[in-house]
Amino acid sequence: MTLAENVAFARRLGLVDPRQIAATTTALARWGPNLAAMYTASALRHPRRPAIIDDRGALTYAELDRRATALAKGLRALGLGAGDHVGVLCTNHRGFVEASVATAKAGTPCVYLNTGFAAQQLGDVLAREGVAALICDSEFLPIVESSGFAGETIVARGDAGTHRSLADVRDLASSRPLLPSRPIAPVLLTSGTTGTPKGARRDGRPAGLASAIGILQRVPYRTGDVAVIPTPLFHAWGLAQMTIAAATGSTAVLVQRFTPAATLDAVATERATVLAVVPIMLQRLLASDLEVDTSSLRIVASSGSALPAHVALAWMDRYGDNLYNIYGSTEVGQATLADPADLRVAPGTAGRVVGGSTVEIVDGDGAPVPAGTTGRVVVGNDAQFTQYTGGGTKERVRGLMVSGDVGYFDDAGRLFVTGRADDMIVSGGENVFPQEIEELLLGHPDIADAAVFGVPDDEFGQRLAAHVVARGDLDAAGVRELVASELARHKVPRDVTFVEELPRNSTGKLLRNELGA
């Protein structure tokens, strides 16, 4: 960036405001580079500005900072010290944010838990991560009790019953100042689309500054934005949006559970400038045909799974060129970003490499391949995880982390991800990646959702099968004809099954291990 561009970037985020500089310096000196410092800095600079708006109303930065400090003291009064893990099992509301900031202040690593867990899966993760105390919503108490968890349970929302509530724990706070602890990064869980989610650690390092700046340079976030966040906060993408709001002194409007009506109502009511989504949410918003005023939106930030080309175009045609698509993962961090101009020219792209990251396409031996050649996607940046909590890490090639995806760069430097290496289907000696076929099917007006996968075949080793959620008059022969008209013969599904719904996780990723089960 030129000097003028850097100055404009700093002004957009309020970084040249002397009061912001002083507040940030004070917060970093007290808490170090973590979530607590971001909220404290905004509390010092914008004490009366709403930090959060949820279904209970608004909570200012000053109010949130006071509550989080009291909760951190209360957690310590319960005997939780530096290094003791605190689980958070909450939907999107102020209690989730308060718990996140409090654990950062107390130095107790936060383990973010999927609200869709079954009891046994929850118990396995709590035991593996060594969770000593759990903050959860009352609706999850039956699952917690069935999981076998024996630690302290604190209720963030709803009737606490015989358990302590967040307010009860805050009441345990002493009048003594809260001494800061060494900054410790939270534990994020992988999506678990092929098995039990793994905990991803960063060895105490907060998320990388260079990677964050790379995103902020490309997406026009501003200080004082109003960001509607229906994506689960326990997932890396939702948490990132919450963090950006805190860092920019913006207001996070939390949608407890995504529905098109609740999300669009929040955008219209709060005159939101930012909307954070995953691609399946875009599909459902487009399918809803709800008419509300979304003219305030400047940024629609999408990540978490592949963005189908037809969805990108349909969104921009209806709501304007405000769509930004970020490609990355919990493990590899942010890799590429497609802005509206990229998506108009090449709507299937994952975008260009963001500042602070390195992305290459390599062959089976780890050697870089030229543009247009498909290979493994490898990534390097300062936001990557170190290892899984159960042991092990991802393969590296010349210091770059293997993402597990396959793709290619075009001549303009735009990345195209063609699929997951693990999803590849070998049928009659031909390699097939289901994502290409799924995107074609999803572009048909009579198909609401689709999944393609391999099933055993005596003659071909595997054959292609498709599960289709139809919303019009379509039969199996029509599905096959659609694919045959656009793709090679070996990519046409032989088995077509119509289903009511496909198994997806909370961020819209297909649970491929459940397909055909």
> Positive or negative, the Cα torsion across 325, 327, 329, 335?
negative
Confidence of residue 206 (pLDDT cuts 50, 70, 90): low
Q: CB under 8 Å to 154, separation ≥6 — which residues?
A: 133, 134, 135, 136, 163, 164, 165, 166, 168, 169
Q: CB under 8 Å to 124, separation ≥6 — which residues?
A: 196
Span 64-95, pLDDT tens digits: 999 999 999 999 999 998 879 999 999 999 99
What average pLDDT does this structure show over 437-449? 91
Q: Domain limits of the chain?
A: 425-514
Query: What is the predicted pLDDT for the residue at 89?
Result: 97
In whole angstroms, what is the distance from residue 356 CA to residue 215 CA? 9
DSSP character at residue 281: H
Torsion of CA 8, 10, 13, 14, to 10 degrees: -110
Inter-residue contact 132 to 151 (CB < 8 Å): yes
pLDDT above 60 (res 194):
no
Q: CB under 8 Å to 253, separation ≥6 — which residues?
A: 52, 53, 54, 226, 227, 228, 229, 266, 270, 272
- List the one residue out of 253, 247, 209 whose CA is nearest residue 233: 253
In whole angstroms, what is the distance from residue 506 CA to residue 483 CA? 29
Span 113-141, pLDDT tens digits: 999 898 999 999 999 999 999 999 999 99
Span 229-265, pLDDT tens digits: 999 999 989 999 999 999 999 999 999 999 999 999 9
pLDDT above 60 (res 321):
yes
DSSP character at residue 179: P
Strands 110-112 and 164-165: unpaired
In whole angstroms, what is the distance from residue 20 CA to residue 15 CA? 6
What average pLDDT does this structure show over 441-466? 89
What average pLDDT does this structure show over 215-222? 93
Residues pairing with 352 in the sheet: 337
The chain-wide mean pLDDT, for the chain, equals: 90
Residues pairing with 379 in the sheet: 359, 401
Tell me which of 515 and 127 has the higher pLDDT: 127
**What distance lies between CA 388 and its chain's CA centroid?**
18
Span 158-179, pLDDT tens digits: 999 999 999 999 999 988 888 7
315-319, 374-378, 387-391: which range is least confident on average? 387-391
| Superfamily per CATH, domain 425-514 | ANL, C-terminal domain (3.30.300.30)
Query: What is the predicted pLDDT for the residue at 419?
Result: 87
Query: What is the predicted pLDDT for the residue at 183?
Result: 66
Query: What is the predicted pLDDT for the residue at 196?
Result: 67
In whole angstroms, what is the distance from residue 159 CA to residue 56 CA? 15
In whole angstroms, what is the distance from residue 508 CA to residue 306 CA? 10
Token pair for 82:
């530096």
Query: What is the predicted pLDDT for the residue at 6?
Result: 74
Token pair for 239:
């948490």
Phi/psi for 390 (5° steps) reads -85, 5
Token pair for 266:
């929040």
